[in-house]
Structure 1
Amino acid sequence: MTDRFVSNFTNRLDAKGRVSIPASFRAILARDGYEGLYVHRALDLPSLDAGGHALRATIDDILSRFSPFSDEWELLSTALNGASEVLKVDPEGRIMLGEALKAHAGIGDAVTFVGLGHKFQLWDPQRFEAHLETARTRLRDVKRMLGAPPPQGSAGS
């Protein structure tokens, strides 16, 4: 049993606008013990960040790096707390996304759930495929850079 959100799953919204959280993600949330599902708009992506106590702890850790009287703390707290929602998870493991959340992520009739360890993201399936391709391309560049020999004249030559 893992306590990390991994893999990705695409589920369709039902006629009432509900979508089922993947069973493996529900199991992690149940062990986490968070009441509901904490969701906020991703800061720099057209997606939603979601999770429970582990995500909340990460946000609290980030905020603790700033003075609570600083502009940075105010901005981050507004984006991560003030614009967040705690969604109710029904007995069948479904959630209903509000219109503002769906609009931010461009979600229509389906949602792709993407595990990121301590949290997961909710994406429009086509937007996620494009994001995944961008991530793969950028990682190939990073891999090449990491595998390149050190420049001439650098330490260790």
Structure 2
Amino acid sequence: MFQGANALAMDAKGRLAVPTRHREVLQALCGGALTITRNKGCLVIYPRPEWEIVRERVAALPMEATAWKRMYLGNAMDVEIDSAGRILVSPELRAAAKLDKAVTLLGMGNHFELWDTPTHVANEEVLAATAESDMPDSVKGLSI
């Protein structure tokens, strides 16, 4: 399970250092083989075995979900963690998520989200301000 937030810096070529605490787990889990694709407002990064499960579910969606299939499958790119512990995020994916130098990597259980840091901070502020009124019923009963 991946969890927690990591403030990271992406270089001009789109290289991103995978945090050390996740690197060993990813090497053991998938040999460093990851898949990156688009999501609403961010990128998602899956260990390849997890992505293959998601890919099958998305591919099986009906015709009316073609736009979603296009977003997830049509933009998916396979990457490998290099010997320096980095991944390369393509220019197309960086542009789609409006990623710049300052990015935030969020552990989301079986995958990661990669956000432009200012966008992530703004989203968190909106959530905090509207948490009570916009909270889904499925979250209301959660006691933390």
Smaller-chain TM-score bracket:
0.7 to 0.9
Q: 1:139 and 1:62 mapped to 2: Cα distance?
A: 30
**1:127–1:35 CA distance, 2 compared to 1 (3 A):** same
Structure 2 residue aligned with 1:123: 115
TM-score, L = length of structure 1: 0.73
From the CA coordinates, give the structure whose radius of gyration is larger: 1
Tell me, yes or no, if structure 1 residue 60 matches structure 2 residue 62: no
Aligned position for 2:17: 20
Query: What SS does the aligned partner of 1:106 have?
Result: coil
What is the number of residues matched between the two proteins?
138
Name 2:43's counterpart in structure 1: 48
Task: Give 5+ residue unaligned stretches, structure 2.
Answer: none
Structure 1 unaligned blocks of 5 or more: 148-157
Pick closer, same or farther for the CA change 1:112–1:21 going to 2, 3 Å.
same
Q: 1:31 to 1:106 in 2, by over 3 A?
A: same
User: What RMSD in Å do the two structures reach over aligned CA positions?
Assistant: 2.7
Deviations 1:91-135 (A, max 9, x none): 121112211111111111122101111111111111111112223
Match of 1:139 among 119, 131, 140: 131
Change (3 A) 1:31 1:140: farther
Between the aligned partners of 2:23 and 2:70, the Cα distance in structure 1 is 27
Structure-2-length-normalised TM-score: 0.78
Q: 1:98 to 1:129 in 2, by over 3 A?
A: same
